[in-house]
Structure 1
Amino acid sequence: MNAPEPRMIASWQALLEGGKTVDELLVSFDRARERRVLILPALFDEANKLRRFTLQMMRAADELGVDTFLPDLPGCNESLVPLETQTLTSWRDIAASAAEAFGATHVLSIRGGALIAPDTLTGWQYAPLTGAKLLRGMLRAQTIASREAGREMTSAQLMEEARQSGLQLAGWNLGPQMVREIEVALPGANDNHMLIEQKDLGGAGLWLRAEPDEDQRLSEALAEIVAHPAERPL
């Protein structure tokens, strides 16, 4: 029997707190193959910068015989759920439910995605960073924006406001609980998640560029690691 043709863009039902569900966007290459990888993308501004890179990696993985699933998190991209109602805890629960819904065998987290990766799956962490470092970048961008708007505030002042009542940081409306959780969040210390450093792919990380960009060679290098784990054992 021939493998089914993949539906690249579809939707999936994300389970919210309280048992409610919401339809969210899903990008996937699903041909019902043995290796099925849940992808947890970079978060916030880095998600914009790495979106093209991530999709190119998925196309390359498809050609190498790997199914991949990139679900939108509630509050992100085309989601109708307000971002300020979301927390890292709720996103961790969403990631776990997505893994179950798609029958994922592995998980690939990218940058901040490592902060919400299920520890029940074998997988990879690509260039993970701490929540504190993620926040620092957003605070830096917000101080510049505040200054341009005529409102001088230091990163410390912005952070205190964000902890107490939430804040729009670099265009993202974060609730206070999300901010407090990100501030102390660390990538999962899981022996089943292999660390992939930028040097393993070659070149510089695309999140360092001022605008969203792409590099097919980097995407293909990451897909090779995911498709051929025997060459990079977990």
Structure 2
Amino acid sequence: MIDRYDWSGGSEAMLRFGAAKGPVVLFAMPLFEEANRLRALVVTMLRALADLGIAAALPDLPGTGESLLATEAASLDGWRDAFAAAEEKLTREGLRVHVAAMRGGVLVDGRANCDSRWHFAPVTGAALVRDLVRARQASAREAGKNFDPAAIVLGDPPVELAGNLLSPQLIADLREAGPALDGRRRTLRLTTEAAAADRKVAARPLWRRAEPENNPALARELAVDLSAWVRQCAA
């Protein structure tokens, strides 16, 4: 079902999965091109979660998905406020909200009140910006040009990074951003990641693929883990 939520800057779309009662998982998508590469995986996972009896909601953030806001007008503060507004809508419906996020989505969920957080392959904003800059530098080299990230200056016009027009303020804010560490939290990572996690999962990093892909087996595995975590926190 396609629903909507209101935030201070307007109204955005939100996909709903599963029953309209009981606990609900509010999911924060990865950011930028990773959102395109991982959307099929996320939707497959949330459908599997609904089959396991846990409802889910997937909001578009301002400047992403079907949002009418231009990407270059998006801000980290706006994303965090919008995600919190999506949580408030679900809470007003009488639902117990659990937050889940993948990759850069962990940078936007911190203002949402929730019973627990579940993160898969979380990344810092600094690491995310490094990936964006490397992609821009690679494309510049192919065109016989140079790109110096030091040229990104606050107050300047939006800059193109990995196919996205982004404001220098958003880039600066992302460099300082990290995942929320408060409350009940479970973290999953791939076995190839060195950082600590509550569980390691064997799978390919689909966010590194050249084209969007899906992995239904991984989606099901993540959904099973997330459903068990929600039920544990609700007990």
Instruction: Please tell me the TM-score bracket, short chain as reference.
Output: 0.7 to 0.9
1:92 is matched by which residue type in structure 2? Answer: R
Is residue 31–residue 67 contact of structure 1 (8 Å, CA) maintained in 2?
yes
What does residue 133 of structure 2 align with? Answer: 139
What does residue 189 of structure 1 align with? Answer: 181
User: Residues 201 and 116 of structure 1: is their aligned pair in 2 closer, same or farther, counting only changes over 3 Å?
Assistant: same
Identity %: 32
What does residue 117 of structure 1 align with? Answer: 109
Is residue 117–residue 183 contact of structure 2 (8 Å, CA) maintained in 1?
no
Matching residue within 158, 166, 169 for 2:149:
158
Higher normalized helix content (fraction of residues): 1
Is residue 37–residue 105 contact of structure 1 (8 Å, CA) maintained in 2?
yes
Determine the C-alpha separation between the residues in 2 that align with 1:15 and 1:30. Answer: 24
The C-alpha deviation readout for 1:74-125, integer Å capped at 9, x for no partner, is 1012211011122111111111110111235100011101011135311211
Structure 2 counterpart SS, 1:213? coil
1:71 CA drift (Å): 0.7
Is residue 163–residue 179 contact of structure 1 (8 Å, CA) maintained in 2?
no
Alignment of 1:52-91 (within 5 A): 52-91=40-79
2:23 is matched by which residue type in structure 1? Answer: R
Structure 1 portions without partners, runs of 5+: 1-6
1:205 CA drift (Å): 2.1
1:232 CA drift (Å): 7.0
Is residue 5–residue 85 contact of structure 2 (8 Å, CA) maintained in 1?
no
The alignment's TM-score, normalised by the length of structure 1, stands at 0.86
User: Residues 181 and 230 of structure 1: is their aligned pair in 2 closer, same or farther, counting only changes over 3 Å?
Assistant: closer
What does residue 97 of structure 1 align with? Answer: 85
Determine the C-alpha separation between the residues in 1 that align with 2:143 and 2:65. Answer: 26
Matching residue within 32, 35, 48 for 1:44:
32
What does residue 3 of structure 1 align with? Answer: none
Measured on the aligned residues, the alpha-carbon RMSD in Å equals 2.0
Whether 1:205 aligns to 2:227 is no
Is residue 206–residue 212 contact of structure 2 (8 Å, CA) maintained in 1?
yes
- Tell me the matched-pair count: 219
What does residue 4 of structure 1 align with? Answer: none
Determine the C-alpha separation between the residues in 1 that align with 2:44 and 2:29. Answer: 13
Determine the C-alpha separation between the residues in 1 that align with 2:79 and 2:44. Answer: 24
Determine the C-alpha separation between the residues in 2 that align with 1:67 and 1:38. Answer: 9
The alignment's TM-score, normalised by the length of structure 2, stands at 0.86
2:214 is matched by which residue type in structure 1? Answer: E
Matching residue within 26, 29, 43 for 2:14:
26
Determine the C-alpha separation between the residues in 2 that align with 1:47 and 1:223. Answer: 18
Structure 2 counterpart SS, 1:178? helix
Determine the C-alpha separation between the residues in 2 that align with 1:72 and 1:96. Answer: 12
